[in-house]
Structure 1
Amino acid sequence: MKSSTETKLKGAQASPENKKRYAAEVAKMEALGEKFTTNQFGKVSVGAFASRCEFSRSVLENGALAGQFTADVARIGLATVDNLSRLRKKTDDKQKIANDLQKQLNLKTAEVEVLRKKVEELTKRVRELQLRDTDSIRSLEHMLATGERFFL
């Protein structure tokens, strides 16, 4: 565990300690054959490596170790397997969603077709009833005017 004086080191005082931890972590990675982890965009995960070294990401981005970090990333390389499998899983999930939506679309399209046919039949029936009603009105008017029944 760190003493309270070590945790309070900042700036130039912390730089030698940061360099030691950085060098130890890089040596450990090389010994184990590990590569730098990547973020969701396929770039080096600066924050993940900084937390392994127990300092903030700004030390690697803007501090004295920025140039060394860039060179070490280029030399050691990036671990991209995790992103590839993550992207495959994401693609599979999206494909499943797309298939489910396609099935729903097909069902709804079939329902719409059934309803269109029903509307067509009902529209035809309404026209027939309106025509019959018109004929009944003519027949009634003829009967009232002449006193005779008229059948169509």
Structure 2
Amino acid sequence: MIEAFELVRDFMERGGPILTWIFLVITLIWGLVFERLVYFKTGHRKQVNEVMGTWEARTERTSWFAHKIREAMISQVTMDLRGTIPLIKTLVAVCPLLGLLGTVTGMIEVFDVMALLGSGNVRAMAAGVSKATIPTMAGMIGALSGVFASSYLENRANKEAEMLEDHLTMDH
């Protein structure tokens, strides 16, 4: 266990300070993804049951007013379903940008070493190259995993909203 921690620590150090930010963003993305998954299993089911009970308790479901009440109920559930998905998508878009920032800062370090020591000191340049490439890779991995997760969540939210709309019938 300690060896694994040391490997992760060494990797984070080789990637530079931007890698810490990328790690935090990816952790936040996956925390929000799991929050949405838990919501789909718990809070959403409860909300759908409440909305269905409220709708079924109505004696009149065909008028214009009933139609607007139905639309409002569906809208509220849909908004709650989408919840943090826009934030997840924004954070996914930030990951490659942070990776690019890491690339730029790493290359600046390489150029500083070259300016001070010349191009003959490969060992000194290697640290800057690591700080340039590792954040790029991490940012892309975070973005790719987040894209798949956010697409899944968005599709699931759309499906759940459509199912609710189908269950709230207008007839009596």
Compute the TM-score of the two structures, normalised by the length of structure 2. 0.28
- Flag the structure with larger Rg: 1
The structure with the greater share of residues assigned to helix is: 2
